[in-house]
């Protein structure tokens, strides 16, 4: 009798129960029906197509744009005893030919392929001869020009499918997708009668915070120092910032490395390996780094600068806490970051696959997305609620697990300041940006203001006693309320909208939330071992030491042996027999054979000593 999905889950992955949405997706694909899975990073999307691949008769093709993901996935599958391989640009011609030869002999259950290789010489012809049961499209949002990471090569997936003698089942997977992107995935991939499974975007183990420091470098050093011994990623917007921040951290004695597109392939690969293998557990990178990195023990992600949109932020921040442990996601916000991102967006290279009209629409949408992430950086509302609402979820108003929810606020009547700001924008001709408007209201004496004659305006200096930060905050609230907008383009200016008329006439009030006190901060975190089994931190350390030894012997990252969550479960259960060890979360039959005796030796010794 064939293995059931529950038996395979335990044998290869060491789990006894599926996570939310996984079983639905598996059953749908096994029934021969197409499916779209929208599941957050760390929700276990790969199991949704790997288990059907093990239960179906033919080959499963996994389309992925990420070389690092392919490497990690194939390595993990081989460790679990599943035959798999990949085809991408990292292979030599000889290696590529060997994979095709093995594929022809039916040696693999899964083959990971970069989208550019689907129609490549040899592969498409071979696939026409093989029984293809399932095509899994990972990072499916890349198929949409409205997505945050459109890749024209993804448009060839349908061409590949149509070239096959029989259409296989298609499963599409993504972690972040707006309604428009979801519709594009269904339409462009031509999914038949698809089941859409959306598990929600919330990651309860992530703590979100926004800081607006006057000295970013000092704040960053403080944050990293508080997390000494932890693995983390610091994201920067430009290569120059990556170089500077990495140098700063190294000067201060932190084991940091760097990653950006300006480095050689050899150095990027070496630096990535240093990070994955925890030789240098702190990575400073542009957003070119991290997609598909299956490193489960990243405990914090710090964005040194504002990213270009909420999709990118949530995906990058989501690289923390993949093992289910508590993790931090910190955004260091400044208005200048938004200006840098606006410049990068407006000066990005044109996409040759889009018409001029489409290019203009994409530019407009990118700038609108930037506005949303700017709102995230300045809002006083719940940060988790803000992001989840953006993706169409209906979250709680108060999560209790973000910096805003731990800050005491008061709501004030800002009607008069708001009227002054609106009047200033109007009386200066709606021709200036945010910084100039604040300078005029504060009564600045810069040469630029004097030359433009703005010192003669009736609104000049009418808020000279107000905190400029307070003025910017009220201005941001007016924009969030739809009373003011920032025009697109290289030189954005502020415009008032018709909805502000009642406020200007004094027919309605304008209220805003402001912090009453500084954030109380996050309570000190206990270690994973203490949180799960307070009296056995020593056991946790012994298990980690053994895991590190085994990882070095096998030349694999430590989380490929066992995740921290598995070690914590060992601390809780304290198994002393092979049967009991198999009950530990993350322990399958192959890992029991490979590592069971050595871990049991440590566990038994601990029990005897205590």
Tell whether the model's pLDDT for residue 547 goes beyond 70: yes
In a domain, 399, yes or no: no
Q: Are residues 571 and 427 in the same domain?
A: no
Q: Which of 169, 198, 227 is the last residue of a domain?
A: 198
Tell whether the model's pLDDT for residue 30 goes beyond 90: yes
List, for residues 57-115, the tens digit of each pLDDT value: 899 999 988 777 788 888 888 888 899 999 988 888 899 899 999 999 999 999 999 89
List, for residues 4-26, the tens digit of each pLDDT value: 999 998 888 888 889 889 999 99
Q: Are residues 460 and 508 in the same domain?
A: yes
In a domain, 402, yes or no: no
Tell whether the model's pLDDT for residue 525 goes beyond 70: no
List, for residues 376-392, the tens digit of each pLDDT value: 998 888 999 999 888 87
| CATH code where residue 343 lies | 3.40.50.300
Closest to 85 measured CA to CA, from 73, 352, 94, 93 = 73
Closest to 536 measured CA to CA, from 560, 569, 507, 571 = 571
Whole-structure pTM value: 0.72
Q: Are residues 193 and 210 in the same domain?
A: no
Q: Are residues 335 and 385 in the same domain?
A: yes
In a domain, 395, yes or no: no
For residue 504, how far is the Cα from the chain centroid? Answer: 41
Q: Are residues 368 and 455 in the same domain?
A: no
CA angle 569, 574, 580 (to 5 degrees): 90
Closest to 360 measured CA to CA, from 371, 346, 344 = 346
Q: Are residues 142 and 45 in the same domain?
A: yes
Q: Are residues 382 and 417 in the same domain?
A: no
Q: Are residues 188 and 225 in the same domain?
A: no
In a domain, 523, yes or no: no
Q: Are residues 380 and 414 in the same domain?
A: no
Q: Are residues 179 and 321 in the same domain?
A: no
Q: Which of 360, 390, 420 is the last residue of a domain?
A: 390
Q: Are residues 151 and 264 in the same domain?
A: no
Closest to 547 measured CA to CA, from 565, 535, 532, 527 = 565
Query: What span, in angstroms and rounded, lies between the C-alpha atoms of 577 and 85?
Result: 34
Domain count, the chain: 4
Give the range of the structural domain holding residue 501, as residue numbers without chain letter.
409-515
Q: Are residues 182 and 262 in the same domain?
A: no
In a domain, 65, yes or no: yes
In a domain, 340, yes or no: yes
In a domain, 248, yes or no: yes
Q: Which of 390, 424, 450 is the last residue of a domain?
A: 390
In a domain, 522, yes or no: no
């Amino acid at each position: 009798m064939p293995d059931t999905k529950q038996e395979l889950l335990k044998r290869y992955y060491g789990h006894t129960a599926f996570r939310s949405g996984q079983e639905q997706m598996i059953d749908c694909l096994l029934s021969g029906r197409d499916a779209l899975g929208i599941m957050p990073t760390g929700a276990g999307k790969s199991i949704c197509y790997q288990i059907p691949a093990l239960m179906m008769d033919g080959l499963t093709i996994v389309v992925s744009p990420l070389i690092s993901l392919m490497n990690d996935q194939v390595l993990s599958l081989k460790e679990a005893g599943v035959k798999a391989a990949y085809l991408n640009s990292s292979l030599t011609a000889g290696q590529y030919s060997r994979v095709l030869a093995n594929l022809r002999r039916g040696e693999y259950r899964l083959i990971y392929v970069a989208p550019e290789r689907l129609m490549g010489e040899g592969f498409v012809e071979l696939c026409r001869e093989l029984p293809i049961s399932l095509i899994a499209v990972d990072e499916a949002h890349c198929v949409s020009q409205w997505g945050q990471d459109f890749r024209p090569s993804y448009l060839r997936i349908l061409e590949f499918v149509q070239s096959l003698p029989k259409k296989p089942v298609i499963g599409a997977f993504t972690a972040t997708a707006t309604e428009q992107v979801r519709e594009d995935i269904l339409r462009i991939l031509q999914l038949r009668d698809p089941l859409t499974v959306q598990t929600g975007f919330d990651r309860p183990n992530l703590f979100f915070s926004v800081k607006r420091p006057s000295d970013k470098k000092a704040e960053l050093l403080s944050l990293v120092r508080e997390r000494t011994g932890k693995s983390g990623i610091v994201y920067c917007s430009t290569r120059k910032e990556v170089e500077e921040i990495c140098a700063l951290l190294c000067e201060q004695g932190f084991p940091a490395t760097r990653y950006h597109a300006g480095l050689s392939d050899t150095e990027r690969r070496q630096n990535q390996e240093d990070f994955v293998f925890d030789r240098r557990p702190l990575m400073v990178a542009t957003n070119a780094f991290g997609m598909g990195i299956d490193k489960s023990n990243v405990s914090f992600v710090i964005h040194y600068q504002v990213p270009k949109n909420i999709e990118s932020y949530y995906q990058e921040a989501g690289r923390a806490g993949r093992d289910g442990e508590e993790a931090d996601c910190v955004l260091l916000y400044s208005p200048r970051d938004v200006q840098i991102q606006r410049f990068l967006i407006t000066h990005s290279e044109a996409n040759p696959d889009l018409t001029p009209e489409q290019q203009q629409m994409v530019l407009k949408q990118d700038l609108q997305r930037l506005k949303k992430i700017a709102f995230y950086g300045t809002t006083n509302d719940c940060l988790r609620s803000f992001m989840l609402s953006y993706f169409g979820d209906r979250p709680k108003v108060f999560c209790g697990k973000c910096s805003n929810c731990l800050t005491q606020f008061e709501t004030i009547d800002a009607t008069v300041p708001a009227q002054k700001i609106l009047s200033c924008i109007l009386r200066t001709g709606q021709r200036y940006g945010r910084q100039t408007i604040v300078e005029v209201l504060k009564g600045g004496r810069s040469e630029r203001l004097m030359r433009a004659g703005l010192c003669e305006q009736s609104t000049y200096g009418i808020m000279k006693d107000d905190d400029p930060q307070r003025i910017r905050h009220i201005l941001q609230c007016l924009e969030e309320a739809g009373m003011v907008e920032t025009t697109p383009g290289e030189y954005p200016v502020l415009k008032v909208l018709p909805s502000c008329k009642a406020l200007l006439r004094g027919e309605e009030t304008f209220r805003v939330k402001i912090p009453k006190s500084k954030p109380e901060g996050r309570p000190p975190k206990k270690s994973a071992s203490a949180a799960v089994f307070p009296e056995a931190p020593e056991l946790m350390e012994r298990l980690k030491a053994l895991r590190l030894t085994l990882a070095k012997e096998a030349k694999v990252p430590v989380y490929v042996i066992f995740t921290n969550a598995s070690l914590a479960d060992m601390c809780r259960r304290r198994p002393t027999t092979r049967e009991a060890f198999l009950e530990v979360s993350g322990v399958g039959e192959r890992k029991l054979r490979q590592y069971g005796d050595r871990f049991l030796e440590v566990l038994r010794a601990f029990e005897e000593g205590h």
